[in-house]
């Protein structure tokens, strides 16, 4: 086992950037144990989380008990699954048996989950260790907010800035080295926004690939559960554990799954990459540093042998309007009883955003759904001519968290909602660092259930740019 050269701190310093894939190999080689890794992470969380607010509820005792069991199983030659002994954090709209699912809201105070969500159960089956529940925007929509029962998570690269949302604790915690894996959810970009702001890898899988049973819904036809990690390889590993048909989730798909990491090191030679330039050049003018970073990604992939060509999709304005109408209509159908009976239990932002659905009419929703079908057809037509799409994620780095005006202005400046509308898989990751030391981002999207090709392209960029070795100084 790894030596603790300084009463615990040396182990922590050596281990907090260990990825899931690396941890599994280290466990097998008996150079690190699950208990040592978890101990190091808990010490780091003790030291740093008071300034970052990643956790709503830690479950240290249960996690350590699970780590000890995992260690004993390794010693006995028994491995439960591909994530055996690996710690993971869970966004607090996802049920973990015996723990509160607060959705970061006073509305859910006192609620305790009776059973694991399907995605959490799959993690346990794969051998993962659940560390606790993570900060989110209220009900995955209202934030970052300071009028809720828990403080908002902050960005690990600079705690004065927001970490994106709504999977804010997941993004900040992965970036900070609190855990190598986290679960997030994505209805309008809520995995990919924190991945962009925090410089990690976040995937919104194909709609229906991962069960949402046991996850508090925001909008049934747009909601996704997905993996958040520091590396592309770990993202593929986590998706392998999560994917699969669930007949009790009405949106679950029967589709081929698994082996998402099979082509990670094949490179991009011969692949056709469609660069959606108009998203950041005309639809929403990106910050110059973001635009330059996107050009750098395109040049790098071309140098690696990809055929990079410009393509055209519907405008971001159209996608945003369709997403907004569907999301707020469906969210209102869920929250209307609480909003009528106890509006004061919501934070201001959450209440304001959810109430918008009360003013929409059936005709608005039907028109949005008709346009949605047309948009899906248009994106599908483009994906018949290219293998993967390259485009912006966030149009600028994260704003200061206490600057409500700047956050309100910059949050909608993104290109993530198109792929919630269409359901195609989309991955956001670091494209570089701004002059101010904050992550810049890029997004790759692919054909339905072709996450393997998205990962292949993302890994080619990661390998060329070294983004998997870039971490905040904490």
Q: Cis ω on the peptide bond leading into residue 166 (within 30° of 0)? A: yes
Domains, the chain: 9-469 (3.90.1300.10)
Concerning whether 30 is annotated as a catalytic residue, the answer is no
Active-site residue, from 12, 21, 33, 91: 91
Residue where the block lists tokens 């929409």? 360
* Residue among 217, 189, 212, 185 nearest 334 (CA): 217
* Residue among 424, 448, 397 nearest 158 (CA): 397
pLDDT on residue 1: 32
Q: What average pLDDT score do residues 235-248 get?
A: 97
Retrieve residue 6's tokens. 């300084």
CB 403 within 8 A of CB 202: no
Task: Quote the pTM value.
Answer: 0.96
CB 259 within 8 A of CB 233: no
- The 10 Å CB-count burial string (b at 16+, else e) for 362-393 is eebbeebeebbeebeeebeeebeebbbbbbbb
Nearest-angstrom CA–CA distance, 273 and 249: 33
* Residue among 119, 141, 249 nearest 189 (CA): 141
pLDDT tens for each residue of 103-145: 999 999 989 999 999 999 999 999 999 999 999 999 999 889 9
Q: What average pLDDT score do residues 252-260 get?
A: 88
The strand pairing partners of 132, in sequence order, are 58
Judged by DSSP in three states, 398 sits in: coil
Q: What average pLDDT score do residues 29-41 get?
A: 97
CB 232 within 8 A of CB 425: no
* Residue among 16, 179, 211, 150 nearest 89 (CA): 179
Retrieve residue 445's tokens. 């999207």
Concerning whether 394 is annotated as a catalytic residue, the answer is no
Q: What average pLDDT score do residues 45-66 get?
A: 98
Beta-carbon contacts of 41 under 8 Å, excluding residues fewer than 6 positions away, are: 12, 15, 16, 87, 131, 177, 178, 179
pLDDT tens for each residue of 400-411: 999 999 999 999
- Per-residue confidence band for 8, with pLDDT thresholds at 50, 70 and 90: very low
CB 198 within 8 A of CB 174: yes
CB atoms within 10 A of CB 352: 12
CB 194 within 8 A of CB 411: no
Active-site residue, from 33, 166, 167, 329: 166
CB 260 within 8 A of CB 455: yes
**Farthest CA pair distance, the chain:** 67
* Residue among 135, 105, 92 nearest 344 (CA): 105
Helices 232-242 and 118-125: crossing angle in degrees, nearest 10, is: 110
Residue 291: pLDDT above 90? Answer: yes
For the chain, what is the mean pLDDT? 95
In this prediction, what percent of the chain has a pLDDT beyond 90? 95
E strand intervals along 187-229: 201-204, 224-229
Q: What would you report as the CA-atom Rg of the chain, rounded to the nearest whole angstrom?
A: 21
Active-site residue, from 190, 211, 329, 441: 190
Concerning whether 145 is annotated as a catalytic residue, the answer is no
Q: How many residues does the chain have?
A: 474
- The 10 Å CB-count burial string (b at 16+, else e) for 223-247 is bbbbbbbbbbbbbbbbbbbbbbebe
- Per-residue confidence band for 9, with pLDDT thresholds at 50, 70 and 90: very low
pLDDT on residue 255: 87
Judged by DSSP in three states, 138 sits in: strand
pLDDT on residue 258: 78
Beta-carbon contacts of 40 under 8 Å, excluding residues fewer than 6 positions away, are: 8, 11, 12, 14, 15, 16
């Amino acid at each position: 086992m790894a030596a603790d050269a300084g009463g615990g701190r040396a182990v922590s310093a050596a281990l907090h950037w260990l990825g899931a894939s690396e941890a599994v190999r280290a466990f097998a080689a008996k150079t690190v144990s699950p208990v040592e890794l978890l101990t190091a992470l808990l010490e780091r969380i003790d030291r740093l989380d008071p300034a970052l607010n990643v956790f709503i509820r830690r479950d240290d005792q249960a996690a350590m008990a699970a780590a000890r069991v995992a260690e004993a199983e390794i010693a006995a030659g028994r491995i439960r699954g591909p994530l055996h002994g690996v710690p993971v954090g869970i966004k607090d709209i996802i049920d973990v048996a015996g723990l509160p699912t607060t959705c970061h809201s006073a509305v859910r105070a006192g609620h305790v989950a009776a059973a694991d969500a399907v995605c959490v159960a799959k993690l346990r089956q794969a051998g993962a260790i659940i560390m606790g529940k993570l900060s989110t925007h209220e009900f995955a929509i209202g934030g970052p907010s300071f009028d809720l029962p828990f403080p908002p998570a902050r960005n690990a690269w600079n705690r004065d800035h927001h970490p994106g949302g709504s999977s804010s604790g997941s993004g900040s915690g992965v970036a900070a080295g609190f855990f190598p894996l986290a679960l997030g959810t994505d209805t309008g970009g809520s995995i990919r926004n924190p991945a962009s702001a925090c410089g990690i890898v976040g995937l919104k899988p194909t709609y229906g690939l991962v069960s949402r049973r046991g996850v508090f819904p925001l909008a049934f036809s747009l909601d996704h559960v997905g993996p958040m990690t520091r590396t592309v390889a770990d993202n593929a590993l986590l998706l392998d554990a999560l994917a699969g048909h669930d007949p009790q989730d009405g949106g679950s798909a029967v589709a081929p799954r698994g082996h998402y990491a099979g082509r990670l090191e094949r490179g991009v030679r011969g692949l056709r990459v469609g660069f959606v330039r108009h998203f950041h050049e005309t639809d929403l003018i990106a910050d110059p540093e973001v635009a330059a970073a996107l050009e750098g990604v395109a040049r790098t992939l071309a140098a690696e042998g990809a055929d990079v060509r410009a393509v055209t999709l519907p405008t971001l304005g159209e996608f945003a309007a369709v997403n907004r109408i569907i999301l707020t209509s469906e969210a209102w159908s869920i929250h209307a009883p609480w909003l009528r009976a106890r509006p004061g239990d919501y934070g201001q932002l959450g209440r304001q955003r959810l109430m918008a659905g009360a003013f929409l009419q059936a005709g608005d929703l039907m028109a949005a759904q008709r346009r949605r079908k047309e948009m899906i057809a248009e994106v599908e037509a483009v994906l018949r001519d290219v293998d993967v799409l390259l485009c912006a994620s966030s149009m600028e780095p994260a704003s200061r968290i206490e600057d409500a005006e700047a956050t309100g202005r910059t949050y909608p400046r993104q290109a993530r909602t198109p792929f919630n509308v269409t359901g195609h898989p989309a991955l956001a990751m670091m494209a570089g660092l701004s002059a101010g030391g904050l992550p810049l981002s890029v997004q790759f999207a692919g054909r339905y259930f072709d996450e393997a090709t998205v990962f292949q392209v993302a890994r080619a960029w990661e390998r060329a740019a070294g983004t998997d070795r870039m971490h905040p100084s904490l």
